[in-house]
Chain A
Amino acid sequence: MVEAHKYDPRSKFPPVDDIDGKSRYDLHSGKYLKVWQGPQHPGITGNMSLELTVCGDEVIECRTHVGYLHRGFEKLMERRRYIQCFPLVCRICVPEPDFNEYLFAECTEELAGIEVPEKAHWYRALTLEMARLASFLMWTGGQAAAFGMGTIGQWTVTMRDYVLDLFEELSGGRIYHMYIIPGGVRADLPVGFALHVEQTLKQIEKVLDDVELVMMHNAVFKKRAKGLGKIDPAMVDEYGITGPNARGSGIRRDIRKDTPYLVYDRLEFDIVTEEGGDAYARTWVRLRETRQSIDLIRQILACMPTSGPFFQKLPNVLHWRIPAGQTYRKAECTRGEYGFFMVSDGSELPRRVYVRGPSYTHAVTLMEKLAVHVNIADTAGLMVSLHTYPPEIER
């Protein structure tokens, strides 16, 4: 929303109503134009749309519209047994489904008092880092393509496909893996898996070198991304910003470090930050975190136990009653804080499962604020730089 100010008739901004604070446009004046970007648009991350009001080629107001992908997961889960919810949760985030599986499993284990074997913790961390790698590679392609560099997208999406090959080898599924399950993980690592992972990581590293060279040192990308969507550090708490969007503004916060889960307290890594606060800084954060993810996968493969159980036997899951209680579990996904709030009333069905996705704040309130004053050609780049996925907004 445009901030209230004394109206100057020569201003490009329309007058703001004193009562409801909304801008008053005369679309027949020829000065303003409404443009819908999405829901089917290459510059939109998924099924959502931006209602842009432009004056010339400058955005002066933006409103986010979601609801094109609402499948009612949270409602469906209230009518299903815990194990029946499990195939639903991964579908909340397509490019990075493993965080949903992990957090759902963590919540049920927490409430049911189930101890997961040590080996399963390492396997879970491995899966989450592989998912992070795949998601970042896909994002890199999107960010480059939003600024007209489609070739980079072809490189990185190919690399993501190789990571999906690894997931297929591990779990049988390329997109939805359902590998992390309540009680542990579904299977042991296949023979030779570590070797295949290493081969893929080497390929990805080479491509990342090229991406850095042609993207981050590209004059056009620099000119368009620097200063775009600048997030002031003071906005981080005010708007609930987490993940690389906050770290791109110099905020040293990462759930893996701040409140470590799984085996992250036994791995060596630093929180990646940049100071710029703009799309360029956020791109650097994500590219460096992609490399960090590669390093973490190597550390996990080197340190993980080679023997022992990977699954804790559960009671009959079709008649599984979880004691009454409530819990909130969270993890650091590629976009920020991902969390599950689960409430059990002691019956066979969950009372409430709430999914907290970082896109909820980034794609709506934050995007609506940052889009003002942006050139219409850069709105796609801005939106991708916030790394949002609509399904986690409308669960």
Chain B
Amino acid sequence: MTIQDRDTTMQEKSKSFREAVPEGFVNVPAAEAVEYITRLRDIEGYTHMVFLTAIDYIEDSLFRLTYMLHNYFKGLDLGVQVDIARESAGMESIHHLWPHAATYQRELKEMFGIDFPGSPGVDDSFILEGWMEIPPMRREFDTKAYSEQTYFPRPGRSSHDTTEYMKEKLYPSEAETW
């Protein structure tokens, strides 16, 4: 399934969803996104930024940023989605609109490698400390391979009979009574 096919499906789904419950998603070009979001906040009444996150479409070499906004007067959620290239990913910051957006952007820099130039503390580590690998929320990051490289298997699982191993190693005094 290409990104265009998926978009069509998602738009249909979003459309039917909007008709049932008036909420939905809208796709906006990256160059116009901040202006569009500012208009939503200042004119349309979408004053609450619920969250900001990203979806990794590695097969299409893009990240889809999702700005979820809420309008308290109409009771509507609106997901503003922005596609950006995966290579040297970056996006304009919106911390001037909502200060807490800086925290979301800091996390996206750490977890996806998406840069937000000018966002306060965007280069500071947030959740990870001393992380040297690729950003772990990228699809190509293999958690299983990482754990196998980083953590050694505990002895006794495959090479020993568990009961015998415990008898010998862990509880010798209790084992005498078994």
Chain A residues, Cβ within 8 Å of B120: 1, 21
Q: Are B47 and A237 in contact (CB under 8 A)?
A: yes
Instruction: Indicate whether A345 reaches chain B with its CB closer than 8 angstroms.
Output: yes
B30 CB to closest chain A CB, in angstroms? 19
Nearest B residue to A78 by beta-carbon distance? Answer: B139
Q: Are B68 and A240 in contact (CB under 8 A)?
A: no
Q: Are A364 and B100 in contact (CB under 8 A)?
A: yes
Cα–Cα distance between A70 and B111 once the two chains are bound (Å): 12
3 nearest A-B residue pairs (beta carbon): A325-B13, A67-B127, A365-B100
How many inter-chain contacts with C-beta < 8 Å in the A-B complex? 106
Partner of B6 from the list A324, A328, A339, A341 (CB cut-off 8 Å) is A324
Taken residue by residue from 314 to 345, chain A's Cβ proximity to chain B (1 for < 8 Å, 0 otherwise) reads as 00000000011111101000000101010101
Q: Are A79 and B143 in contact (CB under 8 A)?
A: yes
Count of A residues near B, CB < 8 Å?
Answer: 45
Residues of B within 8 A of A (CB): 1, 6, 9-10, 13-14, 17, 23, 25, 47-51, 53, 55-56, 66, 68, 72, 75, 77, 79, 98-100, 102-104, 120, 125-129, 136-137, 139, 141, 143-144
Q: Are B127 and A360 in contact (CB under 8 A)?
A: no
Q: Are B72 and A240 in contact (CB under 8 A)?
A: no
B81 CB to closest chain A CB, in angstroms? 9
Cα–Cα distance between A339 and B9 once the two chains are bound (Å): 23
A-B contacts, 18 of them at CB < 8 A, read A66-B127, A67-B128, A75-B143, A78-B139, A237-B47, A240-B98, A242-B48, A253-B72, A258-B72, A324-B9, A325-B10, A326-B79, A345-B1, A345-B6, A360-B51, A360-B103, A361-B103, A365-B100
Residue in B49, B77, B99, B120 with the greatest tally of chain A CB atoms within 10 Å: B99
Cα–Cα distance between A237 and B48 once the two chains are bound (Å): 5
Q: Are B137 and A74 in contact (CB under 8 A)?
A: yes
B99 CB to closest chain A CB, in angstroms? 6
Known: A74-B137, A343-B55. A240 touches B49 (CB 8 A): yes
Nearest B residue to A337 by beta-carbon distance? Answer: B50
Instruction: Indicate whether A76 reaches chain B with its CB closer than 8 angstroms.
Output: yes
Chain A, range 160-209, C-beta contacts under 8 Å to B = none
Cα–Cα distance between A239 and B102 once the two chains are bound (Å): 11
Nearest A residue to B68 by beta-carbon distance? Answer: A328
Q: Are A365 and B102 in contact (CB under 8 A)?
A: yes
